[in-house]
Structure 1
Amino acid sequence: MTTLIPNPAADLTHAHLTNADVAQLDTRSVFHSWSAQGALKPLPIAGGSGSVVWDHDGKRYLDFSSQLVYTNLGHQHPKVVGAITEQVQQLATIAPAHANETRAEAARLVTERAPEGFHKVFFTNGGADANENAIRMARLVTGRDKVISRYRSYHGNTGAAIVATGDWRRVPNDFARGHVHVFGPYLYRSEFWATTPEEESARALHHLERVIQLEGASTVAAILLETIPGTAGIIVPPPGYLAGVREIADRYGIILILDEVMAGFARTGEWFAFDAFDVRPDLITFAKGVNSGYVPVGGVVISDAIAEAFDERVFPGGLTYSGHPLAAASVVANLTAMAEEGVVENARRIGTETFGPGLAALAEKHDVIGEVRGAGVFWAVELVADRATREPVDAATIGRLKAALLERGLLPFTADNRLHVVPPAIVTTDEAAQGLAIIDEALATL
């Protein structure tokens, strides 16, 4: 005789679930990323619409995190939800070897936003494997091995992508070969004793070129950079830096990969963040905002010269779900809705008219703010214990700030000693102002 073990989850199936119920079910069964599992207290989210989410107890939050900075079109946009629903009814899945009209249209719309001379997209499951495959392409085309990236960076959690990453997450995962790191420009905490943006740019470029020379330029396949480093601090490059990187790459026959996974598709008030700078990459990686994260998808936009290198040569890479039709449908709907609804322009306007001046005013008011920087709906507020020494605040202070924001109905994104202000690109002027007011109140509690 079989003895049935009670299943608490089954007991809750037809009941009204509370935050406590869902948190208990989650922590019992789900292994969370980047976390020690024993002390987790995840916030349950029951639903969302636009720039707002709500929990199972009915509390509403302004989503100033865009989750992991990807819901650029907001939550539950009807055009994207409708496109996924329509596609699943027509054809739920198809292998990547087949031609598929939805996949082709998604690729066309992505390349339409790229510079002249980009006509092919290799679809992936997300940003990490987009960077992984861009690295693979660069190595195969150049016949070289090394990849240069920055210490202040995050490129994903697959083999080469995590080693290309510069932050602490690289260290316990440092298995891939051929990776070299450099310091990028970051005037507020300059590694180059610079006092102006121009000095910081020139010295960072000199540092990059000397590293290439000393590593052996003939061994370097690619320079991989986030156009604007995101998780590392939304560090907007100073004038001339990206153009200078392009010149160095050309001088030594190195492929330039720009990682637009977080910064792309309206986040900075541009279709691609590099549109605001004088630079044209060889490979562009993307994910997140391309479909606002509704279905996992990413990809590499490939310049014609690199794509043609594989006309007669097999590209040794592939993914079971490359260009999955549900993901492709969400890309088509997302990019179409962004264009029709002026989402890129809205993000640019919110950044210029609301977040830029509003965050500057908060910096004047609160001594805990050391620097504010960003563009569009992509901003970082760097918090310091002492403005003179620029000593970062500690983790306990960030924890108190997060608690104060959540209590007041704002869902935050924090990293190290920073609060990132990253709502959906559809955020309204009123919502942006409301978020700034909540941040003002929360900072006052510190």
Structure 2
Amino acid sequence: MQNKYAVLSYQGLSGLYALGLSLWTGTIYLYMQQVGYSYGQINLFLALFWLVTCVAEIPSGFLADKFGALKMTFWSALFRGSGLLLVAIFDKHLVVLILSAILTALGDSLYSGTLTSWIVERTKNSELDQGKLFSHNYMLVSLVSFVGGYLEADQLGNIELRLPLISGAVILYVVGLVSLSLVRFDTAPKPPEPLRFTFERQIWQKKRPLLETLILFLPLTFITVGPYNQWQLYFQRGPEIKTGLILVGINLAGMLGAFAFNWSAKLSWKTEQLFLAHVVALCLSVWLLIYSSYYLEDLDKTEENKKRVRLFLVEVLQNHATEKFSEYVADDIISHQHEIADGSSAYQEYLQENNVEYDFIFKVIGHGNYVVAYSQALINSRAYAVFDIFRLQAGKIVERYAVTEPIPAKTELTNSGKF
């Protein structure tokens, strides 16, 4: 295979693979939430994904050397596409979620560095400037990610949230088929080197700086892992999907960050200074998420909204004045409780079918258009502690989150109880 065609194959496969990823990265957690997966289950998916990725990353280079980088690209696309289709096609089920996390993680690990190592081997004895090649390929992948990220969220996602997942899987399957057709141009397998294990008594002293750095990053990782992986759940509001432009902004910020790093390296910044700049940037992003008023409106109507919620809980859910339900709840209310579909009629049906009665409203707090109520409710004659989070608009509840927990019998309590 001539260098020209090897480069075109490398750039084509890299671009297609990037498109296959960008088509769903901005909406996958929105889809999971829509079909009923809880925040805890979504976090389980993330935890399994990163755990399997970490473990599978170790043998991925060995497998690429033994069987060929293009073959590993085929298996990567197959695993990752299949993981996406599992979530998109099958109904909500924990087993489906776990299998999807494992397959997508295996696909991610098998792809790591495979095409890069292949093109390096194909062009190492030529006059090709590999640095320029990788720079051009990075720009191509970034451009494809921009376009794909916008199309999947703001276009496909607004038609049907499962479409980005299915489209991404199809593109990844195409990548797999193309890479399989190029297997005859794969580099010759490398003979495996014998594994040698050595133990040094002074390993702690030699690796101490690295281990100390890793320990320093742990608290920061715990703080940023939520916003980093679930930003779409935070920024998405209402029925219209609007995360595409945000994804484009994130990719642009990533490019700016890469340029800033290269610029700081030319200034001969010390490692400590780079680390401090990284910490400041991450802490600033989390601070903006926490303290921004993105979600908050009607700050001057806080007391009025709290009063409306308390009246709804007392009159409708405690005193059973169901004829007043429509005075407080919008027809198109969005529900984030998996037992209840969107819409006021679904909310009313749930209340009636489960004999829901609010026995005691303990606390109502609010800020702007968000109000939180902490109550004791009877659901099918069993006592529950309930946290309701309401979003109001024009005096009506337009969105509701809920967390419920059974209240144990007094004989089982080890403290004063929930209230």
- How would you bin the TM-score normalised by the shorter chain? under 0.3
TM-score when normalising by structure 2:
0.24
If you compute each CA radius of gyration, which structure gives the higher value, 1 or 2? 2
Instruction: Considering fraction of residues, name the structure with more strand.
Output: 1
TM-score when normalising by structure 1:
0.23
Structure with the bigger RCO (C-alpha within 8 Å, sep 6+) is 1
Instruction: Considering fraction of residues, name the structure with more helix.
Output: 2
